[in-house]
Amino acid sequence: MTPADLMRAIVPVFPPSESNRVREGHLRGERVPGELHCAPSKFFMLFDTNNDGLISFAEYIFFVTLLSIPESSFTVAFKMFDLDNNGEIDREEFKKVMALLRSQNRQGAQSRDSWRLGLKVSVENGGLLEYFFGTDGKACLQHGRFVQFLRDLHDEILQLEFCHYDYSSRGTISAKDFALSLVASADINHINRMLDRVDELDNELHLRDIRITFEEFQAFAELRKELQPLSLAIFSYGKVNGSLTKNDFQRAASQVCGISITDNVVDIIFHVFDSNRDGNLSSSEFVRVLQRRETDNLCSGSEGLLSCWMNCTTNCSSTKMLR
């Protein structure tokens, strides 16, 4: 696959609303698979470990393993293999760390069938290992450097996604494109209903001309990473009060997660996820979509906890419970 294919495999996107492309494909709003409007990424080509200009299945598995690694998990594994406790590991120790973390990753673990097909899922040569350990493989990797690399990796994906929707290179994206990015991970059974709400933005005078900056886009991405405390806050508050307004949502983001979400972003979120237009967030629907986006980065315990809360709000008979 190409770097664009790699991003598409990780981040679901729709065509930017400001493009003149005809929407086509098997799913509503989807264009020809693999085609993205974003600049080439030199960063992604670090994963081209055999330098052939393409990213193989083995390299893809290594990529998704990195994406799924919480900093805390890598720190634990790093310390276990840092036998002399000097804050560094060598190339062979790093490969052991990655093998351990890959075995805990859903996609990496499910790829074990590839061994029977003769596809060796490893990072033996070139590319990223040379980046970390030099061409001779004798350099050592510091913990802080790798943690920063993981952060840069997530930032690169976010930049490419934003650039994809910033079709005219204005440095901002439309309200409709931000809404498309919100619903792109929705379940197939619900996507048409959500896309209808996105299309309704064209008729909302106070929303359709909103432009979202990269800083706002990035802040919401950071909020997605705090999905567990955010969901617990909004479900708990909604259970007691029977509703969740825009101010309540912003307070949960700020006071619980430490992230400031602008009024423009909240207005678009509520347009898409206020299913009956009563001014309150349909929290279960909102969290479900975000959870699908962040699933690979959540541990099973968090997923189970979120599912428990969503089942509670869905099945509760109280009319004052959140939808």
Pairing mode, strands 211-213 and 172-174: antiparallel
pLDDT tens-digit readout, 226-274: 999 999 999 988 878 778 899 999 999 999 999 999 999 999 999 999 9
Residue that the structure tokens 């330098």 belong to:
51
Phi, psi of 227 (to 5 degrees): -60, -40
pLDDT tens-digit readout, 118-175: 444 454 444 678 788 888 889 999 999 988 988 888 888 898 899 889 988 999 999 9
pLDDT tens-digit readout, 27-36: 445 444 444 5
**Nearest in space to 3 (alpha carbons), one of 66, 55, 71:** 55
Residue 189's pLDDT band, with cuts at 50, 70 and 90, is confident
**What pLDDT does residue 119 have?**
42
pLDDT tens-digit readout, 82-104: 888 888 999 888 888 887 777 76
Residue 67's pLDDT band, with cuts at 50, 70 and 90, is confident
**What pLDDT does residue 140 have?**
93
**What pLDDT does residue 26 have?**
45
**What pLDDT does residue 34 have?**
43
Mean pLDDT over the full length of the chain: 78
**What pLDDT does residue 164 have?**
87
**Nearest in space to 249 (alpha carbons), one of 275, 217, 274, 214:** 274
Helices (H), 209-299: 214-225, 227-241, 246-251, 263-273, 283-294
Question: Could you give the CA distance from residue 169 to residue 162 in angstroms, rounded to a whole number?
Answer: 10
- Measured N-to-C along each axis, helices 283-294 and 227-241 cross at an angle, to the nearest 10 degrees, of 170
